[in-house]
C-alpha cells in the first residue's frame, strides 16, 4: 500500500509539466512526416468496420489509417459510445450542433457505424482545408472546435489531443511498442477484436493517465499498455494482451510495482 501511494505521489508531482512539454512544432513535424511518408500505408491489423473507413477515406481524400486512429482514440471502435459532452458513436460526433452542421438530423443515425465515420471524415476534411493541410491544427480543432484554434493559439488540452491521436496512429501503423509482439504478428494481419484489455487504473485527469502509462512502459518494456478515454470524462490505462501468458506477465509486473489493478 505504501508503494501504491508513492507511485501516485510521483505521478502527481510530475503531472502538470507533462502536458506543458508537448511542443506544437514537434507535433506539426510528426504529422507532416506521416502525411509525406506513411499516409498511404496499410493498417497493421483488421479493424472493426474497416470498409466504412475505407469508403469515407476515399470519398474525402483522407488516409484510412488516420480515420482509424481517430476512431480508436475517440471510442475504441464502440459504435454505441457516448461522452459526457453528448458526443456519439465511433468518431464521437457532437449532438446536435456538429451533427446537424454535417447534415445528420436524427440522433439515432450517429449510432450507425458508416454514417458516423462518414460524418467524422467530412468534418476532418473540412478542418484540414481550413488549416491549409496542417493535420496537427485540424485535429486540435476536431477536439476543441475551430473557433478556438489558430496557428498562434493551441490550448494545452488541444495539444494533448493531437499527441493522443498520434499515439493511436502509431498503433494502427504497427510502429508503436504496444503493437502486438505475439509470434507471427508481422507475418499476417491479426483481428483487432482479438486484442484483449484489462483496466489498470482510471483517472479523471488526462495527465495522470499519461504519466502512469509512461511509468509502466519504462518499467516494463516487454509488456504492452495503452491509454483510452472513457465515459464521464475519465481516462483509463489498460494492459493489452492476446493470450494468457502475455496477460499474466504484464499483470505480475504491474502488481510488482505496487499498483493495484482494478477489478474486472
Contact 45, 189 (CB under 8 A): yes
- Do 160 and 201 fall into the same domain? no
Contact 103, 156 (CB under 8 A): no
Cell representation of residue 50: 474497416
**Euclidean distance between CA atoms 78 and 71, whole angstroms:** 9
**Euclidean distance between CA atoms 203 and 13, whole angstroms:** 15
For the annotated catalytic residues, the residue numbers are: 74
**What is the span of the domain harbouring residue 212?**
190-256
- Do 28 and 105 fall into the same domain? yes
pTM of the model: 0.91
The domain boundary residue, chosen from 173, 205, 239:
173
DSSP 231: G
Residues of the chain with pLDDT under 50: 1, 17, 19-20, 182-185
Number of domains in the chain: 2
Q: Is residue 263, in this structure, part of any structural domain at all?
A: no
- Do 139 and 221 fall into the same domain? no
- Do 105 and 130 fall into the same domain? yes
The domain boundary residue, chosen from 173, 199, 219:
173
SS3 6: helix
Cell representation of residue 255: 502488481
Degrees (nearest 5) of the Cα angle 60, 142, 155?
145
**Which CATH number do you get for residue 214?**
3.30.70
At 66 the pLDDT is: 99
Query: Inter-axis angle of helices 206-219 and 2-20, to 10 degrees?
Result: 110
Taking alpha carbons only, the member of 201, 208, 204, 207 closest to residue 258 is 201
- For residue 96, whether the previous peptide bond is cis, meaning omega lies within 30 degrees of 0, is yes
- Do 158 and 223 fall into the same domain? no
Q: Phi-psi region for residue 115, left (φ > 0), alpha (ψ -120 to 50) or beta?
A: alpha
Q: What is the pLDDT of residues 238-257, one digit of tens each?
A: 999 999 999 999 999 999 99
Q: What is the pLDDT of residues 196-214, one digit of tens each?
A: 999 999 999 888 899 999 9
Amino acid at each position: 500500500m505504501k508503494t501504491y501511494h508513492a507511485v501516485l505521489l510521483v505521478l502527481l508531482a510530475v503531472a502538470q509539466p507533462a502536458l506543458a512539454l508537448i511542443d506544437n512544432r514537434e507535433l506539426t513535424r510528426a504529422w507532416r512526416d506521416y502525411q509525406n511518408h506513411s499516409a498511404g500505408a496499410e493498417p497493421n491489423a483488421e479493424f472493426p468496420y474497416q470498409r466504412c473507413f475505407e469508403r469515407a477515406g476515399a470519398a474525402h481524400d483522407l488516409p484510412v489509417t488516420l480515420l482509424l486512429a481517430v476512431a480508436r482514440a475517440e471510442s475504441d471502435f464502440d459504435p454505441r459510445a457516448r461522452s459526457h459532452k453528448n458526443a456519439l458513436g465511433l468518431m464521437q460526433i457532437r449532438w446536435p450542433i456538429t451533427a446537424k452542421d454535417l447534415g445528420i438530423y436524427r440522433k439515432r443515425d450517429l449510432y450507425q457505424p458508416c454514417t458516423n465515420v462518414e460524418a467524422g471524415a467530412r468534418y476532418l476534411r473540412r478542418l484540414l482545408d481550413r488549416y491549409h493541410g496542417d493535420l496537427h491544427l485540424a485535429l486540435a480543432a476536431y477536439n476543441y472546435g475551430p473557433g478556438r484554434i489558430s496557428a498562434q493559439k493551441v490550448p494545452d488540452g488541444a495539444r494533448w489531443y493531437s499527441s493522443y491521436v498520434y499515439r493511436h496512429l502509431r498503433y494502427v501503423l504497427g510502429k508503436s511498442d504496444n503493437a502486438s509482439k505475439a509470434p507471427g504478428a508481422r507475418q499476417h494481419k491479426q483481428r483487432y477484436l482479438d486484442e484483449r484489455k484489462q483496466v489498470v487504473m482510471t483517472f479523471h485527469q488526462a495527465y495522470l493517465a499519461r504519466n502512469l502509462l509512461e511509468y509502466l512502459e519504462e518499467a516494463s518494456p516487454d509488456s504492452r499498455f495503452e491509454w483510452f478515454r472513457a465515459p464521464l470524462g475519465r481516462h483509463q490505462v489498460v494492459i493489452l494482451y492476446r493470450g494468457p501468458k502475455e496477460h499474466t506477465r504484464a499483470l505480475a509486473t504491474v502488481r510488482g510495482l505496487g499498483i493495484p489493478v482494478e477489478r474486472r
